[in-house]
Chains A and B, each alone.
Chain A
Amino acid sequence: QVQLQESGPGLVKPSQTLSLTCTVSGASISSGAYYWSWIRQPAGKGLEWIGRIYTSGSTNYNPSLKSRVTVSVDASKSQFSLKLTSVTAADTAVYYCARESESPHLFDNSGYYAPWGQGTLVTVSS
């Protein structure tokens, strides 16, 4: 059974860099046709896709965050990571990592997320 677990600082100062790691267990992070993704959720609000990395190492990012986001993978540690620079209070949220499976339909880009990590709250405050 695949499991994901986020880790990282719960408090980050404004203008600094938010760094989170997602540890994958129960499966190899470098095998299979999967994307490894980051999604966040501000308190009381909806879900926002941040970005993802494919097994091959290629990445995609939300255009609204692209200039500040980097997603990387360390297959030797079965981990993938998120870095978000120049954070502000608007970046305060619960951050989730998730595995994205490709749609079984040809030419269908709507992958689906399962499983998810339990989420980690990151607060941006001085």
Chain B
Amino acid sequence: QSVLTQPPSASGTPGQRVTIPCSGSSPNIGSYSVNWYQQLPGTAPKLLIYTNNRRPSGVPDRFSGSKSDTSASLAISGLQSEDEADYYCAAWDDSLNGPVFGGGTKLTVL
């Protein structure tokens, strides 16, 4: 069981807006920023959002992140078929003294 909790699946239709939540606790999200990764089928994860809400160069502004207290969320607007992937949240955890990941959310574009 992962330290950070994500729903195992999410879905939406093209053009729709979907959000993926990530729930943590005081030693992790409550104290540190959250990063998000996108893993397309058969490929390595790719940084999608860092430090809660910053987008690396090349990531479309359809992707956005937010954090409040011990939870974070990833929002994808204008959903596209190529957004179908696994999404992981991550944050530092004082109990582990290292980074922890969520269990991942598989996004299906219907």
List residues of chain A with CB under 8 Å of any chain B CB: 46-49, 60-63, 96, 101, 103-105, 108-114, 116-119
Contact = CB atoms under 8 A, between A and B. Distances in A.
Interface centre among B37, B44, B97 (most CB of A within 10 A): B44
Contacts, number: 73
B99 A114 contact: no
Grouping DSSP codes into helix (H, G, I), strand (E, B) and loop, the A interface class, with mixed when no group exceeds half, is loop
B56 A114 contact: yes
B90 A110 contact: yes
A46 B46 CA distance: 14
A110 B44 contact: no
Nearest to B88: A47
6 pairs of A and B residues whose beta carbons are closest in the complex: A109-B92, A114-B47, A112-B50, A110-B32, A116-B44, A47-B101
